[in-house]
Amino acid sequence: MTQSLTGKVALVTGAAKGIGAGIAKAMAAAGASVVVNYVSDRDGAARIVAEIETAGGHAVAMQADIVVVAEVEHLCAAAVARFGRLDILVNNASVFAFAALEQTTDAHLRTMLDTNLWGTIITCRAALKHFGTHGGSIINIGSMSSERFAAGAVAYTATKAGVTGVTGVLAVELAARGIRVNQINPGAVDTEGARAIGAMSDEARAAYTARTPLGRVGTPADIASVAVFLASDAAGWITGECLAVSGGLR
């Protein structure tokens, strides 16, 4: 049993940068044709597609806002129109911001609920119309925030805990169709988004490193290799799992 994805088609949401970009590149390297979804970063998505094609892979960038039902449905249909099938869905698109509950605005809460939870659910629903009799794999990107609580993260943690519920229910619901549903909960990962909010400052990196048994923060490649495994036939008897990929951080 290998981790080859040759002949499969993967749709990765929020793949213009960060963890999503890492997953898109890793799945293409494993042989999959990849749809690199983005909402606004057209140039970033184009760079990821160019990197994949330069390495000999197959990819296309497709714009869609995953909180809009019509756009999500068009995205999934367009993926199949381009590559002929859909085998793998990675629900990676996510937003995060942190504030104490009393400073959490309605807009702040709604944005995270819509993108992180609503978007995951409606993207799964749209993709299911296109999974064939061969089954498939859905991989949801959660967070260690749903296992390791921190002040100021009530909105983000609520959405990621909700994703865990979606993962568990769909693993049971879709098993008879041969569709496996699993979740990756990353720890502290060095991404553009983490840097933008100051979560990868020298002080923050030192704190994460001190708390992480393996002694470093993660990279998108650390998450991507696990996503490739979960999407492959090597993980053919794994479903409903929430796997911490965190360097041992608990």
Q: Which domains does the chain have, with CATH numbers?
A: 9-244 (3.40.50.720)
Residue at token pair 């990868």: 200
Largest CA distance in the chain: 51
pLDDT of res. 148: 79
Tokens 């504030």 correspond to 99
List, for the chain, all residue ranges whose pLDDT scores fall below the cut of 70. Answer: 1-2
The pLDDT assigned to 54 comes to 98
d(C-alpha 180, C-alpha 139), whole Å: 8
Spatial contact of 102 and 32, defined as CB atoms under 8 Å apart = no
Rounded CA gap, 94 and 159, in Å?
10
The per-residue pLDDT for 2 is 60
Of these residues, 38, 131, 156, 208, which one is catalytic? 156
Q: Give the pLDDT score at 204.
A: 78
Residue 227 tokens, joined: 């996503």
Torsions phi, psi of 145, nearest 5?
A: -60, -25
Instruction: Report how far apart, in Å, the C-alpha atoms of 168 and of each of 62, 134, 175 are.
Output: 28, 21, 11
* Angle in degrees, CA 200, 202, 205, rounded to 5: 55
Phi, psi values for residue 121, rounded to 5°? -65, -50
In 3-state terms, what secondary structure has residue 136? strand
At residue 3, what is the residue type?
A: Q
Q: What pLDDT score does 190 carry?
A: 87
For residue 156, indicate whether it is catalytic: yes
With residue 89 as reference, give the H or E element that holds it.
Answer: strand 88-91
Sign, CA torsion 226/230/232/235: positive
